[in-house]
Amino acid sequence: MKVGFFLWLLNQEKLLTQDNLQRRGWNFPNHCYLCEEETETVRHLFIECKYSKEVWNGISDGTGQHWNAPLTIKEILTRKRANDLNSKGKELWNPLQVATCWCLWKARNEVYFNGNKAHTQKIVKDIKVQALLWVSGNGCFKGITCKFGVLNWKLLFFDPP
Ligand SMILES: [Zn+2]
């Protein structure tokens, strides 16, 4: 699935999560593959799941903006950034929100299809790398490797004092 199509489905809460499959007539017990406790819905998977919350907290660290769980998926995708970010931080902010949703969905699928569950710290790193890859063509990211970006995460958002 391409990320644009994923976002379109996500925005309409039409991703094929288990509740949506059940609505289409599939019959099976529904449980979240990430926390293994709650029922899987789009909202649970991206907002309410304790596993996803850990991931959101991980990517928010250093960006000057805490993760206050929004009420809707649309609010995630229009999440406000801190006012005082430097130019790189401003460019990175939106791709970072998209990368988080995208990588959470991929992490969920990795458990669903392959039975491989990753630690939240690994997902957080994958998200940072994905977001950095998306902005790597932008002028102000010239010469910044993903490795450097992940290791110097806070410097991408705030200039040193
Ligand atoms: Zn869950």
Q: Can you say how many angstroms the Cα of residue 17 is from the centroid of all Cα atoms in its chain?
A: 16
31 part of a folded domain: no
pTM, two decimal places: 0.93
Name the residues around ion ligand 1, CB cutoff 5 A: 32, 34-35, 38, 49
Cα 86 to ligand 1 centroid, rounded to whole Å: 34
54 part of a folded domain: yes
120 part of a folded domain: yes
111 part of a folded domain: yes
Cα 50 to ligand 1 centroid, rounded to whole Å: 6
Cα 32 from Cα 52, distance rounded (Å): 11
Task: Read off the pLDDT band of 108 (50, 70, 90).
Answer: very high
141-159 confidence digits (pLDDT tens)? 999 999 999 999 999 999 8
32 part of a folded domain: no
Domain enclosing residue 106, as ranges: 43-156
Cα 159 to ligand 1 centroid, rounded to whole Å: 36
Cα 56 to ligand 1 centroid, rounded to whole Å: 13
Given the structure tokens 């790398």, which residue do they identify? Answer: 129
34 part of a folded domain: no
Cα 9 to ligand 1 centroid, rounded to whole Å: 19
Task: Read off the pLDDT band of 27 (50, 70, 90).
Answer: confident
Cα 63 from Cα 156, distance rounded (Å): 8
3 part of a folded domain: no
Using DSSP, state whether 136 is helix, strand or coil.
coil
Residue 152's identity, in one-letter code, is N
Token pair, residue 97, equals 């929100």
Cα 79 from Cα 28, distance rounded (Å): 34
13 part of a folded domain: no
Query: What are the Cα distances from residue 15, in Å, to 20, 83, 108, 158, 159?
Result: 7, 32, 12, 35, 38
Cα 16 to ligand 1 centroid, rounded to whole Å: 15
82-96 confidence digits (pLDDT tens)? 999 999 999 999 999
Cα 91 to ligand 1 centroid, rounded to whole Å: 30
The tally of domains found in the chain comes to 1
